[in-house]
């Protein structure tokens, strides 16, 4: 009964992003919840639950936009880039240089040799799933990968939440009945962009760590 029902990831990835969206709603609609000097226990619990639920919704939409559209379809997945694929558009390599940095050719060859030694002829998603199943047989490796997953999940959710805040504040400034300041949209936009770069850093590091460990495993 004394166990806290939220994990560290719940707090940072869900509650935090949900709190950003709820704070924005309170600001642009002028609800005044944030200006209260005291918040009763019932309202406090309700706000925590609402922030958590909102954070779950944010996670769903941020995953769809950032992972399935921007990374998978526009920038390409980190696995593909690490193994030497060229960017779809050269400007992407300039805007996101670290994300498009490939493994050295010698490391790429070690990964291919490791896969061949395990009779794996798969590529792309198939190779990723094969390597993941092999590497995560080690609990230590699994914990290390989980750390990167949690970090990129947090950065992804927060970036999306601040993106929503930026758009909401701009719309409220020009079309809303409640007066809001554009400076907050600038700060929110800066946070969204910065956290998006952090997301790309950690989502790449997840694949980097996975295949680095995979290449160094004993050959079958």
| pLDDT tens-digit map of 20-46 | 999 999 888 887 777 777 777 887 888
Q: Assess whether pLDDT exceeds 50 at residue 192.
A: yes
pLDDT of residue 7: 63
% of the chain surpassing 70 pLDDT: 95
Q: What is the pTM for the complete model shown?
A: 0.89
- Residues 6+ away with beta carbon under 8 Å from 209: 144, 145, 148
| pLDDT tens-digit map of 150-184 | 999 999 999 999 999 999 999 998 887 778 888 99
Range of weakest confidence among 108-112, 136-140, 164-168: 136-140
């Amino acid at each position: 009964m004394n166990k806290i029902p939220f994990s560290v990831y719940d707090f940072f990835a869900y509650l935090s992003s949900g709190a950003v969206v709820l704070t924005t709603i309170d600001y642009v609609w002028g609800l005044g919840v944030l200006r209260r000097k005291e918040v009763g226990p019932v309202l406090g619990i309700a706000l925590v639950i609402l922030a958590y639920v909102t954070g779950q919704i944010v996670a769903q939409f941020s995953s769809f936009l950032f992972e399935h559209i921007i990374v998978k379809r526009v920038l390409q997945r980190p696995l593909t880039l690490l193994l030497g694929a060229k960017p779809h558009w050269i400007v992407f390599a300039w805007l996101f240089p670290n994300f498009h940095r490939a493994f050295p050719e010698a490391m790429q060859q070690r990964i291919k040799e490791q896969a061949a030694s395990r009779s794996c002829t798969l590529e792309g998603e198939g190779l990723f799933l094969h390597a993941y199943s092999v590497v995560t047989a080690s609990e230590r490796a699994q914990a290390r990968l989980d750390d990167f997953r949690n970090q990129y999940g947090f950065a992804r959710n927060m970036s999306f939440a601040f993106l929503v805040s930026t758009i909401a504040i701009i719309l409220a400034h020009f079309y809303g009945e409640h007066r809001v300041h554009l400076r907050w949209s600038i700060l929110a936009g800066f946070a969204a962009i910065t956290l998006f770069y952090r997301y790309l850093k950690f989502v790449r590091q997840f694949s980097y760590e996975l295949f680095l460990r995979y290449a160094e495993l004993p050959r079958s």
